[in-house]
Amino acid sequence: MVKTASKKTSANGANPKPRLGQNFLVDPSAARRIVEALGDISNRIVIEIGPGRGALTDLLIPQAKRVIGIELDRVLAAQLRMNYATKPNVEILESDFVTAQFPSMVGRRPGPLHDLRPTQPETVDVVGNLPYYITSDIVLRILELHRNIERAVIMVQREVADRISAQPGSRDYGLLSATVQLFARVEKLFTLPPGAFSPPPEVHSSVLRLTMAPRLEELQVEEVTFIAFLKLAFAQKRKTLVNNLRGQYDLAAIRTALKAAGLRPDVRAEAISLEKTAAVFRALQGA
């Protein structure tokens, strides 16, 4: 997940930091399409991951009820705070999105006394042109927060977008696809060339919309144990499901579970729908 390119000084004097995935969006129509993909945000809190120089933030502020930018780079966070000092609906937190706690992201800022009364936790929308060095961690964190997030529009490396949106049986389907699709409906919206960014990355980028729709109840699976099961099922791509599972489950029980789900004994996890994977999981829990 590399999105690096030549070192280039910005108009505002700060050098982009490749180690922080700093490829800034410089295509205004792409920025507009990304924000539009969030839908009507006039009543929504929007968390932006890595606002950078504000290409998306500038468009979010006039449209959203509240914008919370989480920026890891100290210099950029300070610049953003300065730029938006007169805008009452934006806060910039200098923080790492992967480790920041949700309440500290959306928690009420110091203000009038009535603001301190406990409030119903609101759901938020998330948007971000992601730093590619840490895409998987950020996507997994978004999924962990599925109870708090309604929709996420994220730019990722094109190949990662293909994996996340892939269907079972296709070349790209794997653990990341299954895990994301367990929690969200995935739409691949559009793809941008390297020239849409400064400095240009070495890869194409695609925008995904994840609409949270957790399937845990429908599939009758418990979140933590089923995710651990998916990791095991997809542990080695070239191995059959039986061989990936047999370190942890009885061989006869695995074969019975596959048969009951109508699956061939030599099937691979990459070929099976989430419904069938969940059926095998449930059968093995009882075994």
Residues binding ligand SAM (CB under 6 A): 20-25, 49-53, 55-56, 70-73, 76, 96-98, 129, 131, 134
Shortest reach from residue 42's CB to ligand SAM, in Å? 21
Q: Closer to ligand SAM by CB, 161 or 274: give it.
A: 161
Shortest reach from residue 3's CB to ligand SAM, in Å? 7
Shortest reach from residue 111's CB to ligand SAM, in Å? 25
Shortest reach from residue 33's CB to ligand SAM, in Å? 12
Q: Closer to ligand SAM by CB, 52 or 168: give it.
A: 52
For ligand SAM, the nearest residue by Cβ is 50
Other CB atoms within 10 Å distance of the CB of residue 168:
18
Q: Closer to ligand SAM by CB, 144 or 223: give it.
A: 144
Shortest reach from residue 30's CB to ligand SAM, in Å? 9
C-beta of residue 140 within 8 angstroms of C-beta of residue 194: no
Shortest reach from residue 57's CB to ligand SAM, in Å? 7
Angle at 49 between CA 74 and CA 185, to 5 degrees: 165
Q: How far is CA 80 from CA 69, 197, 271, in A?
A: 9, 19, 46
Q: Closer to ligand SAM by CB, 67 or 178: give it.
A: 67
Q: Closer to ligand SAM by CB, 131 or 174: give it.
A: 131
Q: Closer to ligand SAM by CB, 60 or 280: give it.
A: 60
Q: Closer to ligand SAM by CB, 79 or 240: give it.
A: 79
Shortest reach from residue 207's CB to ligand SAM, in Å? 11
